[in-house]
Chain A
Amino acid sequence: QVQLQESGPGLVKPSETLSLTCAVSGYSISSGYYWGWIRQPPGKGLEWIGSIYHSGSTYYNPSLKSRVTISVDTSKNQFSLKLSSVTAADTAVYYCARGEGYSSSWFDYWGQGTLVTVSS
């Protein structure tokens, strides 16, 4: 059974960098698939942040691209998200998920999500 678990600080100060890690179990990242980050502001809808292929190639949401870095560590079977220069608008539940395919990738396994609040 594939499982994903997000981890990282729940509180980040404005202008700092948000860093999250997603640990994957039950499947080896190096075997394939895309691995993505999706966020959901409180009471609002879902927003795709970006995805990374097991080889390391990435594609990002253009609206966040200048601030986002997604990386993969196959030795630890995990992938990470960094979002720089955060503001209150980046407060959200952040989910990691496994994606099938590219350009209209569907996400079949999701982490439980982690709430990140941006506040001083």
Chain B
Amino acid sequence: QSVLTQPPSVSGAPGQRVTISCTGSSSNIGAGYDVHWYQQLPGTAPKLLIYGNSNRPSGVPDRFSGSKSGTSASLAITGLQAEDEADYYCQSYDSSLSAQREVFGGGTKLTVL
């Protein structure tokens, strides 16, 4: 069971907008720790998509955006394209006593219909 909760799957048609949620608690996202997002295409290493809640690394299209509020964060993808079909992971830090660590969400599989 992941400390950060993501929906197992989301889907959308080409051109549509989808969002992926990442729900945490007062010991991680709610404590003010930043959230980052990764895209993992089949058979490849994860790729950094969003860092520091809402910042895009160079080369990431502005169709991808991130936000954070309270104990949750979200990744939004607009103008959905077939190449966006992948697994998406959120990541943050958990400060629980005796269990402080970097943590990932369980991952969300995005299907482009």
Show the binding face of A for B, using Cβ within 8 Å: 36, 38, 45-48, 51, 59-63, 95, 100, 103-108, 110-113
Min CB distance B54 to A, Å, is: 12
Residues of A within 8 A of B46 (CB): 38, 46, 95, 107, 110
**Known: A47-B104, A62-B100. Is A104-B45 also a contact (CB below 8 A)?**
no
Q: Contact: B101 with A104, CB < 8 Å? A: no
Residues of A within 8 A of B33 (CB): 103-104
Q: Contact: B47 with A106, CB < 8 Å? A: no
- Of all chain B residues, the one with the shortest Cβ separation from A105 is B102
Q: How far is the CA of A111 from the CA of B104 in the complex (A)?
A: 18
Residues of A within 8 A of B51 (CB): 100, 106, 108
**Known: A46-B107, A48-B101, A61-B101. Is A106-B36 also a contact (CB below 8 A)?**
yes
**Known: A45-B2, A48-B103. Is A104-B36 also a contact (CB below 8 A)?**
yes
Q: Contact: B48 with A45, CB < 8 Å? A: no
Show the binding face of B for A, using Cβ within 8 Å: 2, 33-36, 38, 44-48, 51-52, 57, 89, 91-93, 95, 98-107
Residues of B within 8 A of A46 (CB): 38, 46, 89, 91, 104, 107
Q: Contact: B34 with A106, CB < 8 Å? A: yes
- Of all chain A residues, the one with the shortest Cβ separation from B99 is A62
Q: How many A-B residue pairs have CB under 8 A?
A: 71
Q: Contact: B34 with A48, CB < 8 Å? A: no
Q: Contact: B52 with A106, CB < 8 Å? A: yes
Interface residues of chain A: helix, strand, loop or mixed (majority): strand
> Could you list 20 further interchain pairs (A-B, Cβ under 8 angstroms) beyond the known A62-B101, A63-B99, A95-B46?
A45-B104, A46-B104, A48-B101, A48-B103, A62-B99, A62-B100, A103-B33, A104-B33, A104-B35, A104-B91, A104-B92, A104-B102, A106-B34, A106-B91, A107-B46, A107-B48, A107-B91, A108-B48, A111-B45, A112-B45
